[in-house]
Amino acid sequence: MSISMYDFSMPAMIRGLTNLVGILQKAEAHVESKGINPETLIEYRLYPDMLPFRVQVYIATDNAKGCGARLAGMTPPSYEDIENTFPDLIARVNKTIAFLQTLTREQIDGSEDKEIVLKFRTTEMTFKGLAYLTGYALPNFYFHMTTAYDILRHNGVELGKSDFLGKHE
């Protein structure tokens, strides 16, 4: 049985991002009901050298759109990273979901051996498509999704595992 790169990537990321919208909505309701300044959560870090909550959302969305685009042989869409409110973060996640939904199985399947090059400030990394997806893109996506969830949970937002995992089909 061969793996479907589309089935292994897009549904998981769309589902995770859809669940993130629900988590962001709960966080927004939490700050409203408790009279907390939303910026307190949006700028919160679990440790001083960690990135704040909003950047965790930025990176999760960047990773998802980047993964989909790269596997499809496209340049990832660019976002400005200016979202600083819960409604803005929700809109960013929804924009990412909408982009992923434009990608087709035909664009992504067969990308197992496609060369994927990630360029960073001081280095670059080269992968084959399957290794990129399973060893970099999905772990990085879930790392930032989990960190965003943990920041909110640490700050009292009433979230549970089912918020992160979503409904099972």
* CB 146 within 8 Å of CB 131: no
Judged against a pLDDT cut of 70, whether residue 168 lies above it is answered with no
pLDDT of residue 1: 53
Judged against a pLDDT cut of 60, whether residue 11 lies above it is answered with yes
pLDDT of residue 37: 97
SS3 126: strand
* CB 158 within 8 Å of CB 142: no
Q: Establish if 54 belongs to a structural domain.
A: yes
Q: Establish if 32 belongs to a structural domain.
A: yes
Mean pLDDT of the chain: 96
Of the candidates 135, 133, 87, the one whose C-alpha atom is nearest the C-alpha of residue 108 is: 133
DSSP letter assigned to residue 47: S
Q: What is the pLDDT of residues 104-155, one digit of tens each?
A: 999 999 999 999 999 989 999 999 999 999 999 999 999 999 999 999 999 9
Of the candidates 93, 20, 101, the one whose C-alpha atom is nearest the C-alpha of residue 68 is: 101
Q: Establish if 169 belongs to a structural domain.
A: no
Q: What's the CATH number where 83 sits?
A: 1.20.120.450
Considering its fold, how many domains does the chain have in total?
1
Q: Which domain holds residue 50?
A: 5-158
Q: What is the pLDDT of residues 49-69, one digit of tens each?
A: 999 999 999 999 999 999 999
The structure tokens 């197992």 sit at 112
Q: What is the reported pTM?
A: 0.95
CA dihedral 130, 132, 134, 135 (to 10 degrees): 130
Q: Establish if 164 belongs to a structural domain.
A: no
